[in-house]
């Protein structure tokens, strides 16, 4: 089963081809991030316009090495996301499904993120140089930034090359029941998957998503957009224990809240420069020193990550899943990977950070499982977007 996945829910225009829900045949991502940087966040109209311009070239490139005749089905994100952005992907996928006469599968973006963890290999085709399996050299392990206890390094040697990109993939697919921590710019959720399409939402955020908190704290400290990677980078030079920041205390075990932490960083930054709550947040960055910014980033990151890891450990102990996976843009965060590996007693195999942020591969992978397990395809003449779709 070979599926083309199309993703356009936010600022990435992405298309990928996946075989049997396990093997990556191509993966193309075009991000309009640079166009939004000046505004400090995604501008929906600019994102939608960029999707219109790039979606056909992106799909062409993803299909090129495989060929349309080999593609069995098309999968597309129909929600959640920005309306204008989703429309471009869905209308393109509908048109292609009709003209190329392929079944069309409608994919929930957040559910899709989890399926990035099912990809364990990359195809061998004439345009692809493949190295696998191979032992990573010490320098490769350190450059891949994956720092693990020695005992877990063996499970992290599933290294592949697709075009110019190297992928470090799990050596095997996760096993049900799967506990999934989904952490992105729009979502913070703990979900228990008993099987494909059979899952329970254990809890989610009451206010901001964790990625949103990373982005807002980056803005306060004057670090460049997107905030997550900038905070992670600044945190490397900072002291994670320099500042005390609060962890939200909710009476429900698996819910999250990040708006209090974000406000606490704002108040702390005002206090550090000797001002009070009336000092405008957009002027803070110029008054903070490099060291103060790095320490704020490191202290915030430690507490934000601890918050999600605490709840994941709690859910792990209660539900005893066979596998734990992380998904969504914040799953690229190395501090999250380090803390989870330290505290969850089973080996966790993380997927490549490139497959954590928005991509077409996760959409194609879930599309494969839908097709292989006999899920009814969508009607290409009527499929609509659902910007507020939930799990």
- Residue 333 near ligand KG4 by CB under 6 A: yes
Q: How far is CA 155 from CA 30, 135, 136, 248, 376, in A?
A: 30, 10, 11, 34, 36
Q: Which of 74, 75, 82, 232 binds ligand KG4 (CB under 6 A)?
A: 232
Answer with the entry of ligand KG4, Zn ion, none that 232 interacts with (C-beta below 5 to 8 A by kind).
Answer: ligand KG4
- Residue 389 near ligand KG4 by CB under 6 A: no
Q: How far apart are CA 66 and CA 214, in angstroms?
A: 38
Q: Which residue has the tokens 């998957």?
A: 193
Binding segment (CB under 6 A) for ligand KG4, from list 189-197, 198-206, 327-335, 340-348? 327-335
- Nearest in space to 293 (alpha carbons), one of 382, 353, 218: 218
Decide whether 79 or 377 has the Cβ nearer to ligand KG4: 79
Q: Taking CB under 6 A as the criterion, which residues in 338-357 touch ligand KG4?
A: 357
Answer with the entry of Zn ion, ligand KG4, none that 79 interacts with (C-beta below 5 to 8 A by kind).
Answer: none
- Residue 377 near ligand KG4 by CB under 6 A: no
Phi-psi bin for 108: left (phi > 0), alpha (psi -120 to 50), beta?
A: beta
- Residue 227 near ligand KG4 by CB under 6 A: yes
- Residue 257 near Zn ion by CB under 5 A: no
Binding segment (CB under 6 A) for ligand KG4, from list 14-22, 37-45, 52-60, 178-186? 178-186
Provide the minimum distance between the beta carbon of 135 and Zn ion in the complex, in angstroms, as a whole number: 32
Decide whether 295 or 358 has the Cβ nearer to Zn ion: 358
- The residues with which 161 forms a beta bridge, in sequence order, are 166
- Residue 11 near Zn ion by CB under 5 A: no
Q: Taking CB under 5 A as the criterion, which residues in 151-190 touch Zn ion?
A: 184
In a 13 Å sphere around the CA of 46, the CA atoms on its Cβ side amount to 14
Q: Which of 86, 104, 332, 362 binds ligand KG4 (CB under 6 A)?
A: 332
Establish whether the linkage from the previous residue to 80 is cis, with ω within 30° of 0: yes
Neighbours of 26 (CB within 10 A): 25
- Residue 358 near Zn ion by CB under 5 A: yes
Q: How far apart are CA 333 and CA 228, in angstroms?
A: 8
- Residue 212 near Zn ion by CB under 5 A: no
Answer with the entry of Zn ion, ligand KG4, none that 339 interacts with (C-beta below 5 to 8 A by kind).
Answer: none
Residue spans of beta strands (DSSP E) within 251-368: 323-327
Q: Which of 215, 309, 367, 371 binds ligand KG4 (CB under 6 A)?
A: 215
**DSSP H helical ranges for 65-158:** 83-99, 109-115, 138-143, 150-153
Decide whether 132 or 281 has the Cβ nearer to ligand KG4: 281
Q: Write the CB contacts of 115 (distance below 8 Å, at least 6 apart in sequence).
A: 21, 362, 363, 365, 366, 369
Answer with the entry of ligand KG4, Zn ion, none that 189 interacts with (C-beta below 5 to 8 A by kind).
Answer: none
Q: Taking CB under 5 A as the criterion, which residues in 119-148 touch Zn ion?
A: none
Q: Is 3 helix (H, G, I), strand (E, B) or coil?
A: strand
Count of H helices and E strands in the chain? 13, 12
Provide the minimum distance between the beta carbon of 125 and ligand KG4 in the complex, in angstroms, as a whole number: 27
- Residue 189 near ligand KG4 by CB under 6 A: no
- Residue 226 near ligand KG4 by CB under 6 A: yes
- Residue 108 near Zn ion by CB under 5 A: no
- Residue 352 near Zn ion by CB under 5 A: no
Q: How far apart are CA 179 and CA 253, in angstroms?
A: 15
Q: Write the CB contacts of 262 (distance below 8 Å, at least 6 apart in sequence).
A: 208, 213, 216, 217
Provide the minimum distance between the beta carbon of 328 and ligand KG4 in the complex, in angstroms, as a whole number: 4
Q: Is the dihedral of CA 305, 307, 313, 316 positive or negative?
A: negative
Q: Write the CB contacts of 117 (distance below 8 Å, at least 6 apart in sequence).
A: 170, 173, 174, 325, 327, 349, 351
- Residue 185 near ligand KG4 by CB under 6 A: yes
In a 13 Å sphere around the CA of 81, the CA atoms on its Cβ side amount to 30
Answer with the entry of Zn ion, ligand KG4, none that 21 interacts with (C-beta below 5 to 8 A by kind).
Answer: none
Residues that bind ligand KG4 in the complex, under the rule CB under 6 A: 10, 184-186, 211, 214-215, 226-229, 232, 328-330, 332-333, 357-358
Residues that bind Zn ion in the complex, under the rule CB under 5 A: 184, 358
């Amino acid at each position: 089963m070979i599926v083309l996945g199309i993703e356009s829910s936010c600022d990435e225009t992405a298309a990928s081809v996946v075989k049997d829900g396990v093997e990556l045949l191509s993966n193309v991502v075009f991000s309009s991030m640079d166009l939004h940087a000046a505004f400090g966040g995604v501008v929906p109209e600019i994102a939608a316009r960029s999707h219109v311009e790039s979606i056909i070239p992106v799909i062409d490139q993803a299909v090129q090495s495989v060929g349309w005749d080999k593609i069995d089905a098309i999968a597309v994100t129909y929600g959640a996301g920005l309306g204008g952005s989703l429309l471009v992907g869905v209308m393109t996928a509908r048109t292609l499904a009709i003209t190329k006469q392929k079944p069309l599968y409608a994919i929930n973006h957040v559910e899709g993120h989890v399926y990035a963890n099912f990809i364990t290999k990359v195809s061998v085709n004439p345009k692809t140089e493949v190295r696998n399996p191979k032992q990573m050299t010490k320098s490769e392990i350190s450059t891949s930034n994956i720092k693990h206890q020695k005992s877990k390094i063996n499970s992290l040697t599933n290294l592949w090359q697709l075009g110019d990109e190297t992928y470090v993939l799990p050596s095997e697919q996760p096993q049900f029941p799967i506990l999934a921590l989904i952490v992105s710019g729009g979502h913070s959720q703990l979900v228990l998957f008993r099987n494909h399409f059979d899952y329970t939402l254990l809890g989610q955020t009451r206010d901001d998503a964790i990625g949103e908190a990373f982005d807002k704290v980056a803005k306060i400290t004057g670090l460049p957009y997107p905030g997550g990677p900038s905070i992670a980078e600044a945190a490397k030079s900072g002291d994670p224990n320099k500042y005390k920041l609060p962890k939200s205390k909710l009476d429900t075990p698996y819910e999250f809240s990040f708006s209090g932490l974000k406000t606490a960083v704002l108040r702390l930054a005002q206090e550090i420069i000797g001002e009070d709550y009336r000092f405008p947040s957009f002027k803070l960055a110029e008054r903070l020193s490099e060291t103060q910014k790095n320490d704020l980033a490191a202290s915030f990151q430690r507490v934000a990550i601890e918050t999600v890891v605490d709840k994941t450990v709690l859910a792990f102990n209660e539900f005893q899943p066979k596998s734990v996976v992380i998904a969504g843009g914040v799953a690229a965060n190395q501090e999250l990977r380090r803390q989870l590996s330290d505290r969850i007693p089973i080996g966790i195999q993380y997927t490549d950070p490139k497959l954590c942020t928005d991509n077409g591969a996760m959409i194609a992978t879930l599309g494969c499982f839908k097709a292989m397990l006999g899920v009814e395809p969508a009607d290409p003449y009527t499929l609509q977007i659902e910007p507020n779709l939930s799990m």
